[in-house]
């Protein structure tokens, strides 16, 4: 039996296999509202046979967007636009769909990657960014405004309101984005958080606001909706956030009712020196998994079915998340099932697509 295609649960949410489609920013929204692109993009991924689809990083307020094209869920208009997309997808897809909620902090107000990804000035359509401390992401960027306590309370409530909107939309899982150098990660790392109040300094203080945000979301949504957290296990910078601190943070999250930890890395500052290779982030996931009693999702240059299966067999992670590999091959789970001797779900319209010799690999999602 393939572990990759075995059933599992995140909180109370049952999954038919352990393949997770990770959140992937598309920078294709209009004023935060989902568009036809999201219907096409999410629609094809929802028919992939994966166990779970997590919608891209979705801003909880307009200034929390990485780019003007970021998806949002901060008002009735953004909620209604996403509802239209989800209604179409759910007519044909049966897999659970979740959403990642986040705030870019000092990494907001940038152009899309294919336009250079540089910070935009207000004169060019940008906006003033915010962060734990008035420290810019890079030397040539305008410094963010340090968040005061009133602003922190408002921001925490913004996360809660977006989570409530997600529940109204029928989304079945919420992931809190505390990775890749965005706002909650900025609070965690001593390189970006140089506050002198109860939200800065010691590890306990730097963890405080991200934990408060998570707890507020957990308290606001039904127990049937699992809430997890994506973290960057390390900044890849000496003196920054590292996996020992990630383990401490993960333990706190588990105690607060976190359903899973999704382990990525990097993104905090340009000085990072990342050693990239197949499965390069799995050792961090494995170390965290040894210390917590909740599922751990592994991700990072996992591209081959046997590689994903091996990671599960060797207990590096409990689930495997795919991002770029899914964009390149939206039928990755079908092909993995064929290679590993398992079954994957497909819409009945596509069942006849199986190559000769692989009949029975695909089963109907109806």
Percentage helix, strand, coil, to 5, in the chain? 35, 15, 45
Go through 125-145 and write b for each residue having 16 or more CB atoms within 10 A of its CB, e for each that does not.
ebeebbbbbebbbeeebbebe
The tokens of 36 are what?
Answer: 């036809």
Pairing of strands 13-15, 8-10: antiparallel
Q: Say if residues 77 and 91 touch (Cβ distance below 8 Å).
A: no
Only one residue has tokens 């976190």, namely: 258
Q: What element of type H or E holds 337?
A: helix 332-340
CB 133 within 8 A of CB 200: yes
User: How far is C-alpha 292 from the geometric centre of its chain's CA atoms?
Assistant: 19
The two three-digit tokens of residue 171, written as one number: 């989304």
Q: Which residues touch 352 (CB under 8 Å, ≥6 apart)?
A: none
3-state secondary structure of 162: helix
Give the position of tokens 């705030």: 103
Is 350 catalytic? The answer is no
Catalytic pick among 27, 92, 182, 284: 182
Q: Give the residue carrying structure tokens 């207000």.
A: 122
- Give me 172's structure tokens: 């079945």
Active site residues: 182
């Amino acid at each position: 039996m393939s572990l990759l295609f075995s059933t599992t649960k995140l909180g109370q949410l049952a999954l038919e296999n352990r393949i997770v489609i990770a959140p992937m920013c598309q920078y294709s929204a209009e004023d935060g509202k989902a568009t036809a692109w999201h219907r096409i993009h999410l629609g094809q991924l929802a028919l992939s046979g994966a166990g779970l689809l997590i919608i891209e990083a979705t801003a909880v307020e307009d200034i929390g967007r990485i780019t003007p094209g970021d998806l949002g869920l901060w008002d009735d208009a953004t909620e209604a636009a996403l509802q239209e997309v989800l209604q179409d997808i759910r007519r044909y897809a049966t897999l659970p769909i979740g959403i990642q909620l986040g705030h870019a902090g000092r990494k907001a107000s940038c152009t899309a990657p294919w336009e250079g990804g540089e910070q935009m000035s207000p004169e060019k359509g940008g906006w003033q960014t915010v962060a734990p401390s008035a420290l810019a992401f890079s030397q040539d960027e305008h410094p963010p405004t340090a968040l005061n306590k009133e602003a922190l309370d408002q921001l925490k409530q913004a996360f809660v309101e977006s989570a409530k909107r997600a529940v109204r939309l029928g989304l079945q899982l919420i992931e809190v984005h505390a990775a890749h150098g965005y706002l909650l990660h900025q609070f965690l790392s001593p390189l970006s958080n140089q506050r002198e109040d109860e939200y800065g300094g010691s590890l306990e203080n730097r963890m405080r606001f991200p934990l408060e945000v998570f707890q507020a979301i957990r308290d606001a949504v039904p127990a049937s909706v699992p809430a997890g957290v994506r973290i960057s296990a390390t900044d890849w910078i000496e003196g920054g956030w590292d996996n020992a601190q990630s383990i401490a943070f993960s333990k706190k999250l588990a105690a607060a009712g976190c359903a899973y930890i999704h382990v990525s890395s990097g993104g905090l500052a340009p000085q990072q020196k990342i050693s990239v290779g197949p499965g390069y982030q799995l050792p961090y996931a494995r170390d965290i998994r040894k210390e917590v009693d909740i599922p751990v999702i592994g991700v990072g240059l996992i591209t081959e079915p046997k590689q994903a299966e091996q990671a599960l067999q060797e207990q590096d992670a409990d689930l495997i998340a795919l991002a770029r590999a899914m964009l390149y091959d939206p039928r990755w789970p079908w092909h993995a099932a064929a290679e590993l001797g398992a079954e994957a779900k497909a819409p009945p319209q596509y069942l006849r697509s199986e190559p000769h010799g692989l009949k029975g690999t695909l089963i109907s999602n109806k």
